[in-house]
Structures are given as structure tokens and as C-alpha cells.
């Protein structure tokens, strides 16, 4: 596939035949209406952003379009013809493909084998492996990705695996490409490559459906916006007709401002203090403190060591050096259990793999860290378990019954369950790694309010790692900037803005707080000749620098 076309807006906006039409689609799961009479069109040659809160119906709609789900009512049309795919392979054969946040590949097959899955070139009855490798290399090259096609997928990073899945989806007859939270696991350089791919596909006439909670990203890329809320279609409009305030109001049904709420409560003594903290080869000589009632934000570029600092404090890094003190007393972070006993808890970024157990109920998840307190003679007391879960469900406004499986919840509510299970232990220090990753703007505002309440009313000390700089500035009382494994700056919130944080993170900040320049660059190198930028595609600036690849 060769990706050359003149640049422009949607190539065929106003075409009498939509590329994809959603006609009165409803989907009911017993008493739950995931979609209710949804109708709107996607035009050929546009980037069409599909936005809405978690639980708005976006994933259900994608499932119906790609053949994973069958609609309860209504239908889908592709280029004017009614279609109902039985499975994603049938949809792919018709030119409709989806790439999800978590790549769905065969880990023990090679990159080339994954890219040509379902379309293996043959020489008679035998697989033509030379042709397979050639096709894979051509597709990756056309997309601006540089990967060894003979590598096993099991050895790839999340971002590399996502590139493989995109290469598998892209073919000469691709009509619709759906990208679901595509940049959540990408570095800034990788995200720029993906922006360029989306732009070039648009110019070739492909409809790109972009699903994202990142408003800055949506603004940079989308020609058209469609808003879903509570399973209903709210509005479809050109992107330049909706400002941010109106867009958020349509998504959540009310105005939501992610703004700083000034703190009026005084800070207490240091709850958490670290001195000379380090993990050889990862980060070194990090010292700071977090006081009672304080929220300290941690920012930095990908690979800077932000998450590893929190993991070391929580006892997840056996090679840790330096000292950790809780309420002035030196502790040995030998294990998470030992730190939890001292009132220190850690909420990891990957909530589904590490933060909750999806196959268990809300009540079981909430009770898990408190199992000793809730059990008698080695047996859990169900009434105590349910009471604790109900208390946390009310406190955090978790949508769902305490007996519901966590797998049935939206991403935002799963995140609240992950927070609730630790809050139920009555901790003193919270280590939060990307606490609003992958959740919608309305739920994000709720999580921010929860954090402020925990710090200001319940007097907890909170260390929050975030790649979302507006979030860091809205929630934090102070900002630590990590660069190349060292503390580059410790900024009072009054002196912090996005420019000063990025300057410190890249080593461009002056003064004694700036980290010394290192031999390696602070971020990824520029695209190689022949990559997306070199081919003339428009590459929007990354709206959210520093996203961790995990």
C-alpha cells in the first residue's frame, strides 16, 4: 500500500453516500440499555472523533460495527449497503477494522505472521514465508514504523504491538479504521507517528474513527465530532463548531471545569520523607517529603523513573538504596505487605492487570486488602464484607451494586474500585500512579475531588504521578519533576506552569534545580528520513507529553 495523496480536510465531505451509517441502532443487555436508537453518519476521508464518558456506549457501538455484537434493533450501512458482520474477520474482509487500546495479537508468532493473519501468501499448498516477510515490511514501511518482522510479538513493547496491529488492519481496500484510545500507551514520538498515519489514511479516503478521552488530541485531529451520553446520540457536528466548554457539557450533561481549588487548610508535619532514594540503573539520589494534607504531583518524560520511585517506596524494588521515613520513623520497604501495614498504599497505572481483579465482585475487591480485619477464625464474614463495600461505594459514587463483577463496570468505575479497596484500609500515605488514566472528563473531575477530600479533610499525604500536566497543575500543592532518573525540580504550585515543568523535564531549565545534561537525549530522536514527517504529513504536536509506555 502506498500512502501518497494531497493534503486537505475531509476529502468527500458532503458526499451523498456516507461511508458508514448508524441507523436507529439499539443494544440491550437484559435491563441495561447500552445503546438507545442511535443514528448518525461517518463520511469518507475524515477523522471522526467519537467521544463520551465511560459507559456512554462507545465500545458497544464499535462492537456492533465490527461484528462482535449483534444489535437489538437498527442496522449499519457500509457505502450505502446494509451490513451485519458475524465477526471481526468478516468485517475486516469488507474493509472495516478496529485497533484497541490493548493489542490483540498472537504473542508466540512473529511480527510478519501477525500482520498477514488470515491472508497468508502461499506457494501452492505451502506458506510463502519470503512473501509474508516482504508484505509485512512494506506495510510497516508505508506506515513509518521500523520493526524487525521476524521478532516474536511476545518481545515487543505495548506501542510496538499496537503498530503491528495497525499494520495488520491497513490494507489496500481499507474503508474504516477504528482506533480506540490509540495513544494511551505511546510515547510522544510514537504518538506523533500515529497522528501522521491517521492524517495520511484520511487523505487516501479512509474514514478514521478516533476514540479518545484526551480533548487536546481530539482538537488536533478531528474533522467531525460525535458525542454519546448514556447510550444515546447527543450531537454530531464539525469539530470547529463546538468549543471545549460546550463539548464537555454535551458529554456529561453539565459543565465540568478541571481547575485548581485553592487550599485553605494548613499542612501538617511530614508524613512521607525519602532521602537519597535510588534503584541502580533506574533512578538515583532522590530526596523529598510529602506533608500531612498535601498533594505532591510528580511529572517527567517517559522513562524518567517516575513510577519506579513510587514502586520502590511501596516495597516493589529489592535493590533499593536510601532511606524512607513514615511519620518520622525509618521503615524498611521490604514488601508491599509491610508498607501497607505502615499505612502506605500504591495504586498502579494498569488498574485492570494490577489494580483490581475483574473476575471478582465489587465487594470482594474492596474487602481483599482488609481480609484480616473482616474475617473470623479464618473465614470471611459476608455481612462485614458487604457493609465495607457499600460504605466505599457510597463514598466514591461507584455505579453498580456491590455484588456486580468488576468486569461489568466502566473504566472510571473500575478505577474507583481500585481506589476504594485501599481507602478501606484507612491509609496515611497514598501513592497514585496515573489515577485518571483512560477515564472520561466527568469521572476525572470526581477523582480530583476525591483526592482533595482525602488530603484536606482526612489529612492523608498523597504522591500523584501523572502525564497529564493540566491535571498536575489543577490538583497538586507542589510539583516534583523527574528527569533522567534524578529530581530536576521541586516547584511550589504558584511557580509551576506547563512550560516550567517541561523545561525541567527536558533539562532545559536553568538554575541550581536543573539536572545536569546527559549524553542521551531526553526524549525520542526525530523521525528518520522517510518517516511520517519526511513524507509531508501534518504531524500535530503531542498534547500530553510524558505518557508512560506501560
Contact 89, 108 (CB under 8 A): no
**What's the confidence (pLDDT) of residue 309?**
95
Of 305, 309, 304, residue with least CA distance to 290:
309
* C-alpha to C-alpha distances, 530 to 7, 141, 144, 258, 490, nearest whole angstrom: 17, 9, 7, 40, 40
Tell me the pLDDT band of 460, cut-offs 50, 70 and 90: very high
Of residues 344 and 10, the one with the higher pLDDT is 344
- Higher-pLDDT residue of 163 and 61 is 61
Average pLDDT, the chain: 82
Tell me what the mean pLDDT of segment 147-169 comes to.
86
The residue among 32 and 511 whose pLDDT is bigger is 32
Answer yes or no: are the C-beta atoms of 513 and 483 closer than 8 Å.
no
CB-CB contact of 143 with 174 (8 Å): no
How far from 195 is each of 187, 352, 535, CA to CA, in Å? 12, 26, 13
Helix (H), strand (E) at residue 273: strand 270-279
Lowest mean pLDDT among 377-381, 476-480, 494-498: 377-381
Q: Is the dihedral of CA 62, 65, 67, 73 positive or negative?
A: positive
DSSP 50-116: EE--TTSSHHHHHHHHHTSS--SEEEEEETTEEE--SSHHHHHHTTEEEE-SS----TTSBHHHHHT
pLDDT attached to residue 254:
60
Residue 272's beta-bridge partner residues?
Answer: 290, 326
Instruction: Pick the more confident residue, 246 or 517.
Output: 246
**Does residue 124 have a pLDDT over 50?**
yes
What local confidence, expressed as pLDDT, does residue 172 receive? Answer: 65
Greatest CA separation for the chain: 78
Instruction: Decide if 464 contacts 435 (C-beta within 8 A).
Output: yes
Give the mean pLDDT of 34-56.
91
Model confidence at 463, pLDDT cuts 50, 70, 90, reads very high
Quote the pLDDT of residue 545.
Answer: 40
pLDDT category of residue 162 using cuts at 50, 70 and 90? confident
Q: 67-71, 101-105, 130-134: lowest mean pLDDT where?
A: 101-105
pLDDT digits (tens, 9 = 90+) for 229-265: 888 999 999 999 998 888 888 887 765 556 788 888 9
The listed range with the strongest mean pLDDT (121-135, 156-170, 284-298, 460-474) is 284-298
225 bridge partner residues: 49, 237
Residue 525 has pLDDT above 60, yes or no: no
Residues 6+ apart with CB under 8 A from 180: 58, 59, 62, 98, 99, 100, 101, 211
164, 153 in Cβ contact below 8 A?
yes
Distance, in Å, from the CA atom of 175 to the CA atom of 425, rounded to the nearest integer, reads 51
Q: Which CATH architecture has domain 269-343+427-435+460-523?
A: 3-Layer(aba) Sandwich (3.40)
Q: What is residue 534's predicted lDDT score, i.e. its pLDDT?
A: 34
Residues 6 or more apart in contact with residue 259 via CB below 8 angstroms:
474
Indicate the pLDDT class of residue 353, thresholds 50, 70 and 90: low
Min mean pLDDT across 41-45, 99-103, 292-296, 452-456 is at 99-103
Closest by alpha carbon to 532, among 141, 48, 115? 141
pLDDT digits (tens, 9 = 90+) for 255-279: 555 678 888 899 999 999 999 999 9
What is the pLDDT, as a whole number, of residue 125? 82
Q: What separation, in Å, do the N-terminal and C-terminal C-alpha atoms of the chain show?
A: 31
What is the DSSP secondary structure assignment for residue 369, as one 8-state letter?
G
pLDDT band, residue 155 (cuts 50/70/90):
confident
d(CA 290, CA 296): 7
Map out the domains of the chain as residue ranges: 20-252, 269-343+427-435+460-523, 349-425
Domains 20-252 and 269-343+427-435+460-523 belong to one CATH topology: yes
CATH class for domain 20-252?
alpha beta
Amino acid at each position: 500500500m502506498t500512502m501518497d495523496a494531497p493534503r486537505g480536510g475531509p476529502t468527500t465531505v458532503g458526499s451523498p453516500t456516507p461511508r458508514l451509517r448508524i441507523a436507529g441502532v439499539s443494544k440491550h443487555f437484559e435491563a441495561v440499555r447500552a445503546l438507545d436508537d442511535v443514528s448518525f453518519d461517518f463520511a469518507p476521508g475524515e477523522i471522526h472523533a467519537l467521544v463520551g464518558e465511560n459507559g456512554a456506549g462507545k465500545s458497544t457501538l464499535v462492537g456492533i460495527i465490527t461484528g462482535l455484537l449483534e444489535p437489538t434493533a437498527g442496522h449499519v450501512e457500509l457505502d450505502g449497503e446494509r451490513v451485519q458482520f458475524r465477526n471481526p474477520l468478516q468485517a475486516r474482509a469488507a474493509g472495516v477494522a478496529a485497533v484497541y487500546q490493548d493489542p490483540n495479537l498472537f504473542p508466540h508468532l512473529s511480527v510478519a505472521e501477525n500482520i498477514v493473519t488470515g491472508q497468508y501468501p502461499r506457494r501452492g499448498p505451502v506458506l510463502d514465508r519470503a512473501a509474508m516477510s516482504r508484505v509485512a515490511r512494506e506495510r510497516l514501511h508505508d506506515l513509518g514504523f521500523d520493526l524487525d518482522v521476524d521478532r516474536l510479538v511476545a518481545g515487543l513493547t505495548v506501542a510496538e504491538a499496537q503498530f503491528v496491529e495497525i499494520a495488520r488492519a491497513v490494507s489496500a481496500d481499507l474503508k474504516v479504521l477504528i482506533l480506540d484510545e490509540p495513544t494511551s500507551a505511546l510515547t510522544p514520538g510514537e504518538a506523533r507517528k500515529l497522528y501522521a498515519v491517521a492524517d495520511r489514511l484520511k487523505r487516501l479516503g479512509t474514514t478514521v474513527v478516533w476514540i479518545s478521552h484526551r480533548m487536546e488530541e481530539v482538537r488536533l485531529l478531528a474533522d467531525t465530532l460525535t458525542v454519546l451520553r448514556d447510550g444515546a446520540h447527543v450531537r454530531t457536528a464539525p469539530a470547529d463548531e463546538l468549543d471545549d466548554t460546550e463539548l464537555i457539557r454535551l458529554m456529561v450533561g453539565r459543565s465540568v471545569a478541571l481547575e485548581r481549588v485553592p487550599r485553605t487548610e494548613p499542612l501538617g508535619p511530614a508524613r512521607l520523607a525519602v532521602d537519597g532514594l535510588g534503584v541502580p540503573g533506574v533512578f538515583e539520589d532522590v530526596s523529598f517529603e510529602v506533608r500531612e494534607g498535601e498533594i505532591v504531583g510528580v511529572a517527567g518524560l517517559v522513562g524518567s523513573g517516575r513510577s519506579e520511585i513510587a514502586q520502590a517506596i511501596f516495597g516493589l524494588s529489592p535493590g533499593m538504596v536510601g532511606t524512607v521515613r513514615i511519620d518520622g520513623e525509618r521503615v524498611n520497604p521490604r514488601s508491599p505487605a509491610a508498607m501497607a501495614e505502615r499505612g502506605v498504599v500504591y495504586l498502579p497505572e494498569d488498574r485492570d492487570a494490577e489494580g483490581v481483579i475483574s473476575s471478582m465482585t465489587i465487594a470482594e475487591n474492596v474487602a481483599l486488602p482488609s481480609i484480616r480485619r473482616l474475617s473470623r477464625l479464618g473465614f470471611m464474614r459476608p455481612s462485614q464484607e458487604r457493609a465495607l463495600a457499600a460504605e466505599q461505594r457510597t463514598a466514591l459514587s461507584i455505579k453498580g451494586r456491590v455484588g456486580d463483577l468488576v468486569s461489568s463496570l466502566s473504566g472510571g468505575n473500575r478505577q474507583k474500585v481500585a481506589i476504594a479497596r485501599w481507602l478501606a484500609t484507612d491509609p496515611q500515605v497514598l501513592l497514585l500512579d496515573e489515577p485518571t488514566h483512560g477515564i472520561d472528563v466527568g469521572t476525572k473531575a470526581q477523582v480530583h475531588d476525591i483526592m482533595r477530600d482525602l488530603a484536606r479533610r482526612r489529612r492523608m499525604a498523597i504522591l500523584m504521578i501523572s502525564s497529564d500536566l493540566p491535571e498536575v497543575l489543577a490538583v497538586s500543592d507542589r510539583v516534583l519533576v523527574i528527569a533522567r532518573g534524578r529530581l530536576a525540580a521541586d516547584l511550589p504550585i504558584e511557580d509551576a506552569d506547563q512550560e516550567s515543568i517541561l523545561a525541567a523535564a527536558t533539562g532545559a531549565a536553568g538554575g541550581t534545580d536543573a539536572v545536569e545534561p546527559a549524553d542521551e537525549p531526553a526524549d525520542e530522536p526525530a523521525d528518520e528520513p522517510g518517516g511520517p514527517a519526511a513524507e509531508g504529513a501534518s504531524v500535530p504536536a503531542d498534547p500530553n507529553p510524558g505518557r508512560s509506555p506501560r
